[in-house]
Copies of this chain bind each other. A is one copy, B any other.
Amino acid sequence: MLHVAEAARVSVATVSAYINGTTTVSRELSGRIEQAIREIGYKRNAIARSLKIGTTRTIGLTVPHITNPFFTDVVSVIQQAFDRAGYAVMLCCTDEDLNNQDEQIRLLLDRMVDGLIIARVGDGAYLKETVERANVPVVLLDREVDDVDSDRVVLDNHQAVFDAITYLLDLGHRRIGYITGAFNITPMRDRMTGYHEALLNAGLAFDQSLVRSGDLHEADGYTAAMQLLSLHDRPTAIFSANNPMVVGAMKAIRDLGLSCPEDVSVICFDDFPWADVFNPQLTTIAQPVQAIGEQTASLLLDRLNGNREAPSRRLVLKGRLMVRNSCRPLQAGANTTASVA
Does A75 touch B at the CB level, under 8 Å? yes
Does A232 touch B at the CB level, under 8 Å? no
Interface string of A214-235 (1 = CB under 8 A from B): 0000100000000000000000
A45–B110 CB distance below 8 A: yes
A58–B90 CB distance below 8 A: yes
A76–B67 CB distance below 8 A: yes
Residues from chain B with Cβ under 8 Å of A95 in the complex: 80
B79–A93 CB distance below 8 A: yes
Partner of A274, one of B41, B90, B278: B278
CA distance A75 to B63 in the complex (A): 13
A92–B79 CB distance below 8 A: yes
A104–B79 CB distance below 8 A: no
Partner of A272, one of B86, B107, B274: B274
CA distance A47 to B45 in the complex (A): 11
A89–B91 CB distance below 8 A: yes
| Closest partner residue, chain B, to A279 (CB atom) | B279
A46–B111 CB distance below 8 A: yes
A88-104, CB < 8 A from B? 88-93, 95, 100, 104
| Closest partner residue, chain B, to A56 (CB atom) | B47
Does A44 touch B at the CB level, under 8 Å? yes
CA distance A83 to B92 in the complex (A): 8
| Closest partner residue, chain B, to A112 (CB atom) | B47
Shortest Cβ distance from A27 into chain B, in angstroms? Answer: 27
CA distance A92 to B86 in the complex (A): 12
Shortest Cβ distance from A230 into chain B, in angstroms? Answer: 19
CA distance A116 to B66 in the complex (A): 20
Partner of A48, one of B45, B51, B88, B250: B51
Q: Which 7 A-B pairs have the closest CB atoms?
A: A278-B278, A279-B279, A250-B277, A46-B110, A91-B91, A46-B111, A47-B112
- Can you report 8 A-B residue pairs in the complex whose CB atoms are below 8 A from each other? A44-B110, A45-B110, A46-B112, A47-B56, A83-B92, A89-B91, A247-B277, A278-B279
Given A45-B110, A88-B111, A90-B91, 6 further pairs, Cβ under 8 A: A43-B109, A46-B110, A56-B111, A272-B274, A274-B278, A279-B279
